[in-house]
Amino acid sequence: MKCPICGSESITTLKSKKISTKNKESTELLLKCNDCESVFKDSITEVKPVSIRLIISEHNYSKKISIDIYPDERLAKDDILLSDIGKVKITSLETKDRKRVESTMASEISTIWASSLEIPARVGVSVDLTGKVDSFKVEVERDFEFATDDFVKIAEYVIRINVIKTLERKTRKGFAKAGVTQRIYGRPVKFSKYDYDLTDNIVSRKEAKEYKRKQTK
C-alpha cells in the first residue's frame, strides 16, 4: 500500500472497519503517510471461501464433511486437499447441474468425491493355483513398495510376484508403491524363504475358485 501523494510505503493505520457481505469481506482503512503526513482512505476486499460438500472414501465406508475453498480456485481430479480429517485425493467432481467432471472452478461444484490418504492402502493379492485362484485383500502403508520377483508369504503360501497392476497399467517388471497398486499376482514356489510376510495384513479372503473359461463351438 502506497501513499497517493508521495508514493511512500511507510503507512500508519489510524482506523479500520470491517464490512461483511454474503460473498465478500471488506476492510475500510483510514491511513496516514509517515513521510508527507497526508491522511487518506483505502480498502481491502477479500472473497469469502465457499463451503462444499466433501465425500471421503475409506475403502468400504465413506464420510461426509464440508470443506471451505475460494470460489475462483480451479479443482481437478487427482488434486490433493487438506480436509478437517487429513489429506484426501480428488477422484471426481460433481457440478451444481449434477454433471461429473474432471476439472472446474470451485464456484461450480456441489460435491467433491475423494479418497483418504490418511489410511493404509488396500491391495488385492491373487495366488494363481493353475486353474484356480485364491484371492486376498491386504492393508499396508501407502509408501510400501511391491516389486516383481519379490517372494511373499501370505497365509499358507509363499508366492513370487509376476505382475503388478496399478491404477494406470499392468507391469511384469519393476515396482510400485502400495498407494497406487490395485492388485499383485503371483504363483506359489516350492521353498519357504520369503522377502516379507503379509499374513497379518489380510483383511479378507475369497477361497480358491476355478477360472471361468468361455466355451467355444
Q: What is the pLDDT of residues 84-135, one digit of tens each?
A: 999 999 999 999 999 999 999 999 999 999 999 999 999 999 999 988 999 9
As beta bridge partners, residue 33 has: 11
User: C-alpha distances in angstroms, 131 versus 92, 153, 187?
Assistant: 37, 21, 12
**pTM listed for this prediction:** 0.67
**Residues 164/170/171/172 CA torsion (nearest 10 deg):** 70
For 100, left (φ over 0), alpha (ψ -120 to 50), or beta?
beta
Per the listing, cell 464433511 goes with: 65
- Check whether 211 has a pLDDT greater than 60: no
Cβ atoms of residues 57 and 92 within 8 Å: no
Domain ranges of the chain: 11-47, 50-116, 121-204
Sign of CA pseudo-dihedral 58, 61, 64, 70 = positive
Instruction: Assign 27 a pLDDT band (cuts: 50, 70, 90).
Output: confident
b/e burial code for range 85-99 (CB count within 10 A of at least 16 → b): eeebbbeebbeeeee
